[in-house]
Structure 1
Amino acid sequence: MPSSVIKYFSYDAATETLKIIFVTDMIYLYKEVPEKIYKMLKASGSKGRYFNRHIKDKFKFQKLEEE
């Protein structure tokens, strides 16, 4: 999953929460994200572009402290 923007992401289907860790080590939880969006992100050739078009500014989010 090489990306110049996203270091790691995971999805919790039970809570529809998408966790994204950016290369800057900033961590965000995106809420009420349909599983289809997660699967499309996973399959996308450009994670950053998909994120900007389909996730950023479209879902509520919570910024977490850096791990």
Structure 2
Amino acid sequence: MRAHRFPQSSMIARIGYDEETGILSISFHDTGKYLYYDVPVALFEEFCRAPSAGTFFNARIKDDFRCRRDPERRRFGPNA
């Protein structure tokens, strides 16, 4: 698993990429972790170099890949 953090981003905390499965995991500050399927490794590498993680996500990832909320994500609170 390869990973990258975005300390300056107000939207995305970190991303991880599994080269065997092509799954990109994105941890959002406000909504938690989501998994994106069939993402090419080159796109992950571009994401790591992007000057703005949120802008890159909106332009190149969002709505272009099948995704779902991470099933391993723990939920907390009264409505979890």
Q: Percent identity?
A: 33
SS in 1 for 2:47: helix
Structure 1 runs of 4+ aligned residues shifted over 6 Å read none
TM-score by length of 2: 0.78
Deviations 1:9-41 (A, max 9, x none): 110011000000001151100000000110000
Count of residue pairs the alignment pairs up? 67
Counterpart of 1:8 in structure 2 is: 14
TM-score by length of 1: 0.92
Q: Please report the RMSD computed on the Cα atoms of aligned residues, expressed in angstroms.
A: 1.2
SS in 2 for 1:51: helix
Rg larger for: 2
More contact order relative to length (CA 8 Å, sep ≥ 6):
1
Q: How does 1:22-37 map to 2 (within 5 A)?
A: 22-37=28-43
